Amino acid sequence: MNYKELPRPERVGRTLVHNGSVVDFYADTMRLPDGTEETFDFISHKGAAAVVPVLDDGRILMVRQYRNALDRYTLEIPAGGRATKDEPTFDCACRELEEETGYRAAGEDVTFLFTMFTTVAFCNEQIDIYLARNLVKADGQHLDDDEYIDVYAFTIDELIRMIRDGEIVDGKTIAALMTYHAMKP
C-alpha cells in the first residue's frame, strides 16, 4: 500500500526518569513538524518471548499468575523477558516454557508464529510468539523468587470462550490464541 508521506517529529532530547528492573522510563523532548516542542513519555523494554504450548491431546497449557498492574490474577500463555537485549527470543521462549510450566518441547519442536508490539503509543516492548508441540514433562517448574504460578490445560474452544467472556484479558495471550485458532486444521 502506498501511504502518504507525513512529516516526522524529531527527538531532540531524552532524559532517563527511572531505571527499573523490567523497564526504563524516559521523557523525550520532541520537535513537532510545526516547530513546537513537546514532551513524550517513552518506556524502554529489552523484549520478550511467549509460547503457545500444545499438549498431545490438543489442550493448551496456560499459567495463572498475579499481575501487580491490574491487582489481580490473570490467565496467560507462558512468557517472559529476555535475559539480555541480545538473547535470541527462541531461547527465551524455551526457557520460559520450562520455568513456568515444567514442560519442554521434545526435539525443540518450537515454531515462530509472529511478532507483536504491545503498546506502540509509549513503549517499544516487542514480543515474539512461538508455538510449542511434543511437550514432555521436565523436572518441574523453576520459578523466579517473585513468581507464584499455577498451570492449567484448556481446549482452544474453552480459551476462545474465556476471551469472549472477558476472563482472558492479556493482549499477547489473546493475539496468540486467536492466531493459533485461525491456523488450526
CB neighbours of 73 closer than 8 A, spacing ≥ 6? 64, 65, 66, 67
pLDDT for res 112: 97
Is residue 20 a contact partner of residue 123, using CB atoms and an 8 Å limit?
A: no
For the chain, 185 residues long, the average pLDDT of each consecutive 10-residue run is 90 95 92 96 94 97 92 95 92 93 88 95 95 89 70 97 97 97 81
pLDDT for res 94: 95
pLDDT for res 2: 87
pLDDT for res 173: 97
Angle, alpha carbons 94-99-102 (nearest 5°):
95
pLDDT for res 149: 79
pLDDT for res 22: 85
- In the chain, the N- to C-terminal Cα span, in Å, equals 30
Q: Architecture of domain 46-183 in CATH?
A: Alpha-Beta Complex (3.90)
Neighbours of 93 (CB within 10 A): 29
Instruction: Give whole-number Cα distances, 64 to 31, 67, 78, 173, 180, in Å.
Output: 43, 9, 9, 12, 20
